[in-house]
Structures are given as C-alpha cells and as structure tokens.
Structure 1
Amino acid sequence: MTAPTLPPIVAPITEDDIAQFLLRTPGFFERHAQVLASVQIANPHGARAVSLQERQAEMLREKIKGLEQRIMEMVRNSTDNATIAHKLHQWSAALLQIEDRGGLPQAVVDGLRTLFDIPQAALRLWGLEGLEGLDGMGEPGIDARFSQGASDDARALASSLTMPFCGPNLGFEPALWLAQQAGDPAASLALLPLREGAVDSASPAFGLLVLGSPDPQRFDAAMGTDFLARIAELASAALLRLR
C-alpha cells in the first residue's frame, strides 16, 4: 500500500512579495483602479485614515514647505552676504582715502567696529621697517598701542595661522589686547593674521588683528571664514604702506 501524496508546502506571501509584485507589474492599478481608490493609509498627524491620494498630496505639501524654507534661507544668506560685501567696499574705500600713514592702524580698527558692529577690536604690528621711522618723516607717529606689546609667542601664533581663527576665548595673549576696551570681556574671538599676499600664504605675519565679542556665538568655531579672510587681506594691503 503506497503512502498518500502530501500537497507541496507553499510559503506564505509576505509584504515584500506584494511590494515586489506591484513594482514588477506597473499596470496592476490601471486594471484595478478601484483598489487604488479604496486604499486607506494612517494619517501621521491624527488617528483617522486617509486615502492614498490624500496622503500623497500631504507629502507633496510637506516637501514644498521644506523647499520654501530652504529658498527663504538662501535669500536671507544672499541678502546678508550682499550687506557684508557692501560694508567691505565702504571700509576699503575709506582706507584708500587715508593720507596720513600713521593713522592707518586706527582707521582699520575704527572701521571694523563701526561698519561691522564689532564690539571690540585690537591690532598689533611688527616687522615693518617704517614703523620706527614714521616720527622722523614729518608725519605723525603711529600709536604705540599698535606697534608694541606683541610677544614672540603672539608673533609665532600669528605666523602659524593660515586662515582666520574663530572660537571661544581660551586665554590667548592677543585677547588681553582687548582688555582695556569698554564692555564685557570677550567670550568669542576671531584672530586674523596679517601678511603680504593671501591670508593662507607661507610668508610670515607682520601683525595680528583681533576681533572680540561678549556673545559666545558671534565668532563660533563652525562659522565660515571667507569674509574674515578678505578683511585680513584688505587690512594687510593697507597696512603695508607703513613699510
């Protein structure tokens, strides 16, 4: 007597099987439009179910809202950049009009504080042959605040920077140059090396420009430094007249 033949074991259909079938059969919903119309999906913003078309429309609205927010952010950034570029132009034009070379350091600092609303700014210069000789050239001498007080360590720090430094006030010596200025102590700093040529060149620095703010986020470590680099290069070009 032979044993009865058992029916083959069929694996249950899974959700992945259904998904793969629908992907391989794009005409399914064309032939069964009523199925697509009756599909109900849970609404992520409430307990009620919505149709597939409603859910797709809602997803499109959310996507459009996200794109609108990105566009608005781009517009704001563009406006901010245009404002900064205009201020850079004003500052550069003012420096070009300075006839008294001895007044250049003060003009650099005053222009930055006024045009860019920077609470504190300081500058130290060294290694320029003309610094010591300005008094004997029939011109007002450079203020000693700008030509004295930078130690060898501060000078080495300036020469080591190949881009502006932004971050919290960690007690760098240049931060002390801001101590005599009014207002709360600087919580964040920007250190801009001054050198001949591009800010990232290998030439040694002849000065350091320090910007400070009591706002710890004003010069955040994650901020872009392109405009600060342009400020450093423009200030360097102007101050090289002191040679």
Structure 2
Amino acid sequence: MNSSQLPPITEEDIVEFLAHTPGFFERHAEVLASVQFTSPHSHRAVSLQERQAEMLREKIKALEQRVMEMVRNSNENAAIAQKVHEWSCALQRVTAPADLPDAVVQGMLQQFDVPQAAIRVWDVAAPYAHAAFAQGVGGDVRAFATSLTMPFCGPNLGFEPAGWLPGGGLAHADGSGAQSLALLPLREGPANSATPAFGLLVLASHDPQRFDATMGTDFLSRMAELASAALARLR
C-alpha cells in the first residue's frame, strides 16, 4: 500500500496519539510555545498559557458565583426558619382555642408578607360550631380540600374558597385583587396523607406569579401541618 492509499489522519488520531504519548510536549516544548488560540473575550490571538489562564479565571468566577448563591440561599432559609419559629411560638401562646384561626391568618399576613389570607375549619367541637371560621363551607369545598394531597398553587379561577378573602377574593381585569392563590388543606397527620381534611387555609396575592403552579410546595406543606396541629384543639 503506497502513501496515496493510506487513510487521512484525523483529529481523533492526533488526540489519541497525544493521550498515549505524554512525553511528546516535553521533547517538543517549542510546539506548545507556538500554539495560539483566539480569545473569546478580546478576539485576538493568545498563547496556550494565556488561554489556560483565561479558562481558569472563568472557572474561578463560576465557583464564586455558586458560593454566593449558596450563601444567599442559606441566609434566606435561615430567615424563613426564624419566621416559622416565631409563628409557631405565637400559636402556642394562644390560650383560647377560638382565637387560633385568626392567629394562623395573622401570622401569614405579618410574618410571611402574604397580602390576603382566610381560613375555614369544619367538624369542630360544639362550643365553636357557630364561630365565623366554621361557617359557609359546603360539601364540595370539603371534598375538594380532602382531595388535595399537597397545597394547590395557581391563578384565581373563581374557586369558592377565594370568596372567604376580604372583598370576596375577586381577580379584577386591571390586575388588582386576588390574582394567584395557594390553597392549603388542613388535616391530622402529614399534609400528603389521605386523611379527610378538617379545614382549608387560603393565601392570595395580587401578583400572578406569587403562587405560581410551578412553584415548590414543600414549605407550604410544612406550614399546613403546623397550622393543622394548632387547630386540632378546636375539634
């Protein structure tokens, strides 16, 4: 076979050769010195060493950004944990069970900056059966609350529980009113269990993205469990 019949050398062949010949650049250091690249930043020709330095700086910058993001998330989580702690303590300090629903709602408004909130509890003990928080809950709403194995987040589509909010919970065409909702089922045990719900907590915002359908619900589920544990005193 003459040279004209040999297959052409490909880039893969060169890569494989260099990978299996680690001493090549030690014996031919002048090759490295002559290699030049186009910098993606200045669009000028740079040496291999300069390009490696640029790549290292880019990696360091990316790592710094990740560290900053982790610190920011840590600070946010710490702030949320402190608010949950304060809210839980406030619920424990409530002496009269009949005051618990309002304490839950006020905690949501004050501690977590929720613009609007409302709550209803059913199947309560006789002394609380005529309280405002135990009124106006139909069978469909109860069944809907029981069907929720996690908080519902999404646009205000005229759900009946939205009517419990101040002003009737209407979403207006001009963007005002309750544009997005979070509906938190209240039940004994874990929020994702099949235990029948005994209440529903409604959170609302004029911001359509505040309670978006794609948001995570783990935090809301924990809040529902805490509220449920406190409100169990009404039953």
TM-score normalized with structure 2 length: 0.90
Note if contact 1:192-1:209 (Cα within 8 Å) is conserved in structure 2. yes
**Are residue 213 (structure 1) and residue 213 (structure 2) matched?**
no
C-alpha distance after superposition, 1:178-219 (max 9, x if no partner): 252799312221111100111111210000001111112212
Q: Secondary structure at the match of 2:204?
A: strand
Note if contact 2:187-2:225 (Cα within 8 Å) is conserved in structure 1. yes
Structure index of larger Rg: 1
Note if contact 2:128-2:134 (Cα within 8 Å) is conserved in structure 1. no
**Counterpart residue number, 1:174:** 161
Aligned ranges 1:14-33 → 2 under 5 Å: 14-33=10-29
Aligned ranges 1:134-149 → 2 under 5 Å: 134=128, 142=131, 144=132, 146-149=133-136
In structure 1, list runs of 5 or more residues that go unmatched: 136-140
* Alpha-carbon separation, structure 1, partners of 2:90 and 2:194: 29
**Are residue 108 (structure 1) and residue 104 (structure 2) matched?**
yes
**Counterpart residue number, 1:164:** 151
**Are residue 82 (structure 1) and residue 78 (structure 2) matched?**
yes
RMSD: 2.0
Note if contact 2:152-2:183 (Cα within 8 Å) is conserved in structure 1. yes
The percent of aligned pairs where both chains have the same amino acid is 66
TM-score normalized with structure 1 length: 0.88
Note if contact 2:116-2:166 (Cα within 8 Å) is conserved in structure 1. no
**Counterpart residue number, 2:173:** none
* Alpha-carbon separation, structure 2, partners of 1:82 and 1:185: 31
Q: Secondary structure at the match of 1:149?
A: coil
**Counterpart residue number, 2:38:** 42
Note if contact 1:164-1:228 (Cα within 8 Å) is conserved in structure 2. yes
Q: How many residues are aligned here? A: 230
**Counterpart residue number, 1:192:** 184
**Counterpart residue number, 1:233:** 225
For 1:103, the aligned partner's letter is D
Q: Secondary structure at the match of 2:137?
A: coil
Q: Secondary structure at the match of 1:74?
A: helix
C-alpha distance after superposition, 1:59-118 (max 9, x if no partner): 111111111111111111111111111111111111111111111111110111011111
In structure 2, list runs of 5 or more residues that go unmatched: 171-175
Note if contact 2:163-2:169 (Cα within 8 Å) is conserved in structure 1. no
**Counterpart residue number, 1:138:** none
Cα separation, partners in 2 of 1:7 and 1:163, compared to 1, 3 Å: closer
Q: Secondary structure at the match of 2:216?
A: coil
